[in-house]
Every structure is written in C-alpha cells, then in structure tokens.
Structure 1
Amino acid sequence: MKRRPTPDDLKDAQKLPYPARQSDMQPPPQTDLQNYRPAGKLEGKVALITGGDSGIGRAVALAFALEGARVAIVYNENGGDAQDTRQLVEDRGGACLVVRADVRHKAECQAAVTQTVEAYGGLNVLINNAAYQMAQPDILALTEEQLRRTTETNLYGYIFMIQAALPHLKAGDAIINTGSIVGEVGNELLVDYTATKGGIHALTKSLALQLGKGKKGIRVNAVLPGPVWTPNIPGTMPLEEVQRFGYEVALGRPGQPEELAPAYVFLASDDSSFVMGSLLHVTGGKLSSDS
C-alpha cells in the first residue's frame, strides 16, 4: 500500500500565498494514481470538471481519463497547474481540454460548457468542484467581499454550471457536486465556507428530486471529503493548522486527492445507477467539529 503522509510529515510545511500552486507544496499532494486499476467504467463519456487544475480536481480528471472518459478541466487562476494536469492526463493516454473560466459569472460557465461540447461532441458528467475558502476566526471581521466571493464561487458557480450543462445531459448522465464534512459538523475558522457547503448538500438533494422520477433521469449526488491535502490548505489556513492538518480524523492523517477520485468514478459510472441524492462521505473518519 502506498504510504500516506501523516501530520508528522507536515510539521515543516509552509503557508503559501493565495492562490497556492500545487507545484509549490511540500510534501506534494498525491494525485498521480500510480496504483489505480482502471476498468473502462467511463468509456465513451465526456466529463467537465471545475477546479480541475489541482488537488481533488486533478486526481478526478486523471481517474476519469484512465477509465476512458474525455475530460475538460476548468481553472481560474493557476494556469501552470492546469497545464500540469493536462500533461499528466495526456501522458497516460487521455484527452484533456483546458478551459479558463471564473464560475462566479454565468456567461463564463456557459462558455466553458460550449467549448467542451464543441470539442468533444457532447457532455455526460458535470463535476462541480471549484471552491473558495479563507480562514477567518471572527465573524465580525468577515468582510462583505469575502462573503460574496465564497458564496458566489461555491453556490452561484455550482448553479450556473448546472444551468449551462443541463440542456446537454440525458437520462443516465450525472451531476456530481463536491460538498464537505464541515458542511455537516462545522468549522470555527471557516464559517462562511461551511455555510456554502451545507447549501451544496441541500442543492444536491433538491436537484435530485427535480431531475428524478418521471423527469430527466439525470443522477445528482455529492462527494463529501474530509480533510484532504490540497493547495487550499497552505493557501488559506493558519500555519498552525497547516502543520497539524488531519490530526483529528480516525485514521490519524489527512486524505490525499487520489483517495477521493474513486468515489467520483463510482457516482459517474453505471455502477451507481440507483444512487440518487446521496452524500457520499470520504472523510477518513472525521466525525466531529474539531478544527
């Protein structure tokens, strides 16, 4: 089994300027899926992944490509990381379209979907994964600018992408949202972020009802990660949290992005044909609100 870093391995990790680049992280997140065994579960499908430049999005893009899907990744700021993801996918024999878009803007979401459909001839899976967070321990210090950016990225962006993608999806296709365990248990440093993640969980369940029985037959589910070692952590959290990240979970360590990817593959594949409105926990056993 591949060794996974523990909090002891993070004790010398450094806080990075936002937006942090995956290429600057030490230790680097594990996103290469070297031990992954594909089985052709997504042959012929086209997937669009927001926040696909690094972290969970990068691992999901690679897993989907290994399973036979053609992927498009949306990024906003870190073009270098996005090109690294494209190269990683192509080096393993896959196809990866790179699209720059700010999901806070409806027109840019529409353009991202249009580029994907024009490049690949259709769309089968939308993965809403782009997110913004910034630690703020005092709600009285939470600025209107941060609140708007968090809400518009994490909620508006999901809805705008769904609205753009939905006309291209058909029965059996899938929408997969990235929620978070903190949307259920809370986090005192991320009040605005946790509120949006709770909203994503409610959005997932409500949309599942809207697109379910007697309607389009498009499956809508969410993956709820626990603490996962991604660029969001050194880029947005206090140094003391970075250097002990993942200490509180039952497995005693943070998750790695490639450990999340199989959950997305499952929810996009025919293996989950009767899974609808589900919040799939992949948390390492994070069961409380301990920061």
Structure 2
Amino acid sequence: MSTDQAERPSEFPPQQQEPPGSTAAMTPTPDHGERSYRGSGRMTGLRTLITGGDSGIGRAVAIAFAREGADVAITHLPEEADDAESTVALVTEAGRRGVAYAADLRTQEACADVVNRAVSELGGLDVLVNNAGYQMAREGGIESISPQRLDRIMKTNLYALFWMTQAVLPHLQAGGCILNNSSIQAYDPSVSLLDYAATKAAINNATVNLAAELGPRGIRVNAVAPGPIWTPLQPATQPEEKVTKFGQDTPLGRAGQPAEVAPAFVFLASPGDASYVSGTVLGVTGGKPVF
C-alpha cells in the first residue's frame, strides 16, 4: 500500500515555504497513496471528519478512508483551499462523497460549526480524526516563546481537540470512534519544538482519559504517533539545513511518507479490525521507541 523503496529519499533538497505550506511547492512531492493505496471495504458506509485533511497525513488518511468505503469531510485553513480541493477530488474519484470546510479551529464556535455542517451533509458522523496541528521551530530559548505563538499552538493542537470532541459526541453512536494525531515529539521532544511537543504529550494523556470516559458509551478513542513525516509542515516550519537531513536520525534512516501513516488510522477506525482497541497510542516512527 505504499510506493517503492527507491521513491523514499533519505535526503531532501534545500527548501523553505511560508506557513502553512503547500504540497505543490514541495520537492519531492509527498506520497499520499494516490497511486498505491488499495482499499478492501474495511470502512464501508462510515461517515468521517478529518481536521487538517487538505495535505500531509490528513490527505493520506482521507484517500485511504475513501478507498475503504467511507464518506469524508475535511477542514482546512482558507489559504489551503487549493490543497483541499485536490484532496476532495481524490475522495470523489474513489466513488465516495467528499466535502471541505474552510475553518480556523482556534474557536469553539468554528469547531461546532464544522461538525454541524458535516453531520448535515453526510447524514451523521461515525469517525472523528483530530489531525490539524501547528508547529514552528524556534532558535531562542523559552524566553522567545511569545504569548501569541503559545496561544496559536495550544489552541490549534489541543483546544481544538477538546472542542471538536465536545461537538461530535452528541452525534456518535456506540461503535463510533475518535482518533487523535500525536507525535514522536511526545516521547522524544526536540528542544526547538518545546511548545509543540508539550501539546502532543497532552494529547496522549487526553486520549487515554477519553477512552476511559467514553468506553461505557461504546465509543473507542485512540491516537497515532507519527515520527518524521514528509509534509508541507516541514519546509514551512524548519530551517533549510534541518529539512535536508529530515528523518535521517531514525533507525530506518529516512523520513516517512504520509501514505505510510494512513494505514494506522484505517486500522484504528475499522470497526472490524480494532473493535477491542481503545486507549492506545500507535507509533509510526521509523523505529523510534514509543513508550
């Protein structure tokens, strides 16, 4: 379900973008599974909502969900409309319904609005994927973390997870699930990503707590912790010298592709494969330990 090993580089050309970054401007273009992912009906008829589904891991998950038989709604920032349009096109090419909502999820009202719109357009929801995230490497010490930066990272990565979950719960029936996007940064944090890493550690804790709270309702809650994955977030938030060596510090010696992360989300979302899996953080890290 992924590309040939030769298409997975261990080194990238120097490149930088302005946040949030664009897929089309990346060299090489990430593999989201466009040519490689083959579904087997594991999510037939499910209605799914993926935040930050326009590019990177979110796009790969949208493609995989659609090819497994699910309808897919995604959210994206207004400036990511081109990427979002491409993702929706890939969903509809798979024969499923695809919709996209431009929304900044840093307010409770925005989160509630996209959930309500997805419920209305898809006829309900069965799976929520809290994938939207923001990071920015810093060069200074903790003193360089401004209130504005901290507010953006905390609200995008953590507050939105709580608000999206609150909004979706009235619509989830027993058998539904919530999936959160964590990170290797929760276990092996980079000094330059202190604030981002802190949100990912909090997401792990929230995942376990929500699994305990929602289990009696028959709702499963899990997370995926990706390692270094080649997405627009990297050239948009890292200096060029780090981009060129991105992922080389893993035991596998390279960055992962979004298509290599999506199957973990499919497994956890599948009511047949993961019906007894809840409260778990599944690592897709190129060999870095997740414990």
What TM-score bracket applies, with the shorter chain setting the length? over 0.9
Q: Indicate whether 1:202 and 2:211 are aligned.
A: no
- State the partner residue of 1:19: 20
The whole-number CA distance in structure 2 between the counterparts of 1:155 and 1:259 is 24
The equivalent residue for 1:62 is 63
Give the CA RMSD over aligned residues. Answer: 1.2
**What is the DSSP-based 3-state SS (H/G/I as helix, E as strand, rest coil) of the residue aligned with 1:160?**
helix
**SS at structure 1 position matched to 2:255:** coil
Asked if residue 273 in structure 1 is aligned to residue 275 in structure 2, the reply is: yes
Matches within 5 A, 1:1-291: 2-3=4-5, 4-8=7-11, 10=12, 12-76=13-77, 77-137=79-139, 138-212=141-215, 215-270=216-271, 271-287=273-289
Task: Answer with 74-83 or 89-98: which moved more.
Answer: 89-98
Shift of 1:37: 2.3
Which letter does structure 2 place at the counterpart of 1:286? K
**Matched position secondary structure for 2:254:** coil
Report how far residue 173 of structure 1 moved. 0.6
Q: Percent identity?
A: 47
Matched residue type, 1:156: Y
Q: Could you list the runs of 5+ residues in structure 1 that have no partner in the other structure? A: none
Query: How far apart in 2 are the matches of 1:102 and 1:23?
Result: 22
Q: Distance in 2 between matches of 1:115 and 1:13?
A: 40
1:219-256 deviations in Å (ceiling 9; x for gaps): 00000000000000000011111111000011111000
- C-alpha separation in 1, matches of 2:95 and 2:253: 35
Please identify, of 84-93 and 59-68, the stretch whose mean Cα deviation from structure 2 is larger: 84-93
Q: Is the 8 A contact 2:14 2:241 kept in 1?
A: no
> What is the deviation of 1:90?
1.7
Q: TM-score, normalised by structure 2?
A: 0.95
1:2 deviation in Å?
1.4
**231-240 or 131-140: which moved more?**
131-140
Return the offset for 1:38.
1.0
Task: Report Cα offsets for 1:3-40 as digits up to 9, x if no partner.
Answer: 342233x0x23111112111111111101342222110
Structure 2: which amino acid aligns with 1:217? Answer: G
Structure 2, unmatched stretches of 5+, are none
SS at structure 1 position matched to 2:187: helix
Offset, 1:189? 1.1
SS in 2 for 1:22: coil
The answer as to whether partners of 1:70 and 1:96 remain within 8 angstroms in 2 is yes
One-letter amino acid of the structure 1 residue matched with residue 166 of structure 2:
Q
Offset at 1:140? 1.3
**In 1, distance between residues paired with 2:71 and 2:159?**
26
Q: Tell me, what secondary structure is at the counterpart of 2:224?
A: strand
Q: Distance in 2 between matches of 1:7 and 1:241?
A: 13
- In the aligned structure 1, how far is the partner of 2:234 from the partner of 2:194? 16
CA-CA distance at 1:100 after TM superposition: 1.2
| Aligned equivalents of 1:2, 1:91: Cα separation in 2 | 23
CA separation in 1, counterparts of 2:257 and 2:20?
19
Deviation (angstroms), 1:185: 1.3
AA aligned opposite 2:213: Q
Deviation digits for residues 134-158 of structure 1 (CA, Å, limit 9, x no counterpart): 0013211111110110001100010
- Whether the aligned pair in 2 keeps the contact of 1:47 and 1:124 (CA below 8 Å) is yes
Q: Is the 8 A contact 1:6 1:246 kept in 2?
A: no
Q: After TM superposition, give the deviation of residue 163 of structure 1 in Å.
A: 0.5
Q: Aligned residue pairs: how many?
A: 284
